Amino acid sequence: MLSYRHSFHAGNYADVLKHIVQIEILEHLTKKDSPFDYIDTHAGAGLYNLKSEHATKLQEYTQGIAKLNPDEYPELTTYFDILSKQNSSGKLSFYPGSPLIATSFLRKRDRAWLYELHPKDAELLLKNTANRKNIRVMRDDGFKGLLSLLPPVSRRGLVLVDPSYEIKTDYGKVFTVLAEAYKKFPTGTYALWYPVVDRKIIDQLERKFIRSGIKKIQRFELGIARDQFGTGMSASGMIVINPPWTLMNKMSQVLPKLVNSLGGEGAFYKCDELVGE
């Protein structure tokens, strides 16, 4: 259960998609003066050294963030600015995970709740978010922790859910937990990341959301190759509940470009609405 380490995969094409969506939502939340809460159910270590033994073993970042030229993506200025702050030398050596990306947007009155079960990653997460009084790091089950926090006092917020799915039951669990979370906090924005290893499982997950009674659900997916079965992740996606009105337009612009930059033969993208208002 605790064998997964995101340090092997940091900066890959799935991270690029996930963090572009996360940033667009956080930018929207900060447009209002009122505070918000950020909840990360599977936070990881927060910051990843791309020159580490873990990262260089698979070198997934070389087929992800390393292939993107900031000059070709003016619509992603904020994303690349955040990366630059972690790479003062000008060379791509570090990649920030979702917790550190979130801290770039947190104001004094906003709060972050970061869950991570892996003992080593939880320790690193504490170090990477030290000296921030409005951030709480908990070595605990993020699924259970999420439900205990809802609804937040602010009544505004983003919940990011991106488990490793190393346990197949996680595909069912993410829906069950998010459906329950939505009942407690129906005005929150929820962003669920998923890997495409078996398309049938993802189709089942999407049908559950479509039939759930939850409104305002969008889906964004980036595939670097045709769907494959049993040969690893060929695509990944984000299901977003209560997305900001700007998100669909942003992803409609960015996803076709990402397919060209990151994809191979059979690459594709999906950018659509699963459930309307």
Q: What is the pLDDT of residues 246-262, one digit of tens each?
A: 999 999 999 999 999 99
Lowest mean pLDDT among 1-10, 32-41, 143-152, 189-198: 1-10
- What pLDDT, on the 0 to 100 scale, is given for residue 147? 96
pLDDT in tens, 48-97: 999 988 878 878 999 999 999 999 999 999 999 999 999 988 899 999 99
pLDDT at 164 over 80: yes
Q: How far apart are alpha carbons 188 and 191 in whole angstroms?
A: 10
176 vs 231: which has the higher pLDDT: 176
Task: Give me the helices (H) in 3-141, please.
Answer: 13-29, 53-58, 77-85, 98-103, 119-128
User: How open is the CA angle 22-28-29, to the nearest 5 degrees?
Assistant: 90
Rg (CA), the chain: 17
| 124-140 pLDDT tens trace | 999 999 988 999 999 99
Which helix or strand (DSSP H or E) is residue 236 part of?
A: strand 235-241
Superfamily of domain 6-275 in CATH is: Vaccinia Virus protein VP39 (3.40.50.150)
Cα–Cα distances in Å, from 23 out to 90, 103, 119?
22, 11, 27
The Cα 16–Cα 59 span in angstroms is 15
Bridge partners, 189 (sequence order): 158
Q: How confident is the model at residue 108 (pLDDT cuts 50, 70, 90)?
A: very high
Q: What is the pLDDT of residues 27-54, one digit of tens each?
A: 999 999 999 999 999 999 999 999 988 8
Q: What is the DSSP string of 40-77?
A: ETT---SEEETTSHHHHHH-GGGGTGGG--GGG-GGGH
Q: Is the pLDDT of residue 4 over 90?
A: no
What's the pLDDT at 56?
84
pLDDT at 123 over 90: yes
Structural domain spans, the chain: 6-275
Per-residue pLDDT, 52: 87
Where in the sequence numbering do the catalytic residues fall?
A: 162
Which pair of structure tokens corresponds to residue 33?
């003066």
The mean pLDDT value of the chain amounts to 94
What pLDDT, on a 0 to 100 scale, did the predictor assign at position 3? 58
What integer pLDDT is reported at residue 167 of this predicted model? 86
Could you tell me the CA-to-CA distances from 205 to 223, 245, 274 in Å, in that order? 17, 24, 12
Q: How far apart are the first and last CA of the chain?
A: 37
- Residue 189 clears pLDDT 90, i.e. is over it: yes
Phi, psi angle pair for 120, to nearest 5°:
-70, -45
CB 181 within 8 A of CB 159: yes
Contact 136, 170 (CB under 8 A): no
The larger pLDDT score, comparing residue 1 to residue 45, is at 45
